[in-house]
């Protein structure tokens, strides 16, 4: 089982960029599909995107395509979420999660697919 810890959240303005990190205890390598999720106040947690390092496949929610990029540095055991052109609706608690290696794109964006979660980092985007 891996342990995950997010960092890099903060308060920014509309249009700004922010990079979140997720430090992973244990090896990322070929063991997991790594996902990013977010939860706005009063709303359900939703998938943002994810990455499968073994073949470089990435998946993104429609709402973040072209604005968010997920990457992974195995040497540092760290997952990243680069966010640009941020909007107020991107506000929320952001979580990283580790799930089964082989998932379909739909499964990869589903909360129920993951058992290992970090504690989250808050992102607030003001207009």
What pLDDT shows up at residue 56? 86
SS3 annotation, the chain: CCEEEEECCEEEECCCCEEEEEEEECCCCCCCEEEEEEECCCCCCEEEEEEECCCCEEEECHHHCCCEEEEEEHHHCEEEEEECCCCHHHCEEEEEEEECCCCCHHHHCCHHHCCEECCCEEEEEEC
What pLDDT shows up at residue 28? 64
- The answer to whether the beta carbons of residues 95 and 117 sit under 8 Å apart is yes
Distance of CA 117 to the CA centre of its chain: 11
What pLDDT shows up at residue 27? 66
What pLDDT shows up at residue 124? 98
- The answer to whether the beta carbons of residues 5 and 120 sit under 8 Å apart is no
Per-residue pLDDT tens digits of the chain, which is 127 residues long: 789 999 999 999 999 999 999 999 876 656 899 999 999 999 999 999 999 988 889 999 999 999 999 999 888 989 999 999 999 999 999 999 999 999 999 999 999 999 999 999 999 999 9
């Amino acid at each position: 089982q891996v342990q995950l810890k997010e960092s890099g959240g903060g308060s920014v303005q509309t249009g700004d960029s922010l990079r979140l990190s997720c430090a992973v205890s244990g090896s990322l390598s070929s063991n997991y599909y790594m996902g990013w999720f977010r939860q706005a106040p009063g709303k359900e947690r939703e998938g943002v995107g994810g990455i499968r390092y073994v073949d470089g496949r990435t998946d993104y929610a429609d709402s973040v395509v072209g604005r968010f990029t997920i990457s992974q540095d195995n040497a540092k055991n760290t997952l990243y979420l680069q966010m640009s052109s941020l909007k107020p609706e991107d506000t929320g608690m952001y979580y990283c999660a580790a799930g089964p290696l082989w998932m379909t794109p739909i499964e990869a964006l589903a909360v129920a697919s993951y058992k290992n979660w970090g504690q989250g980092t808050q992102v607030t985007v003001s207009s």
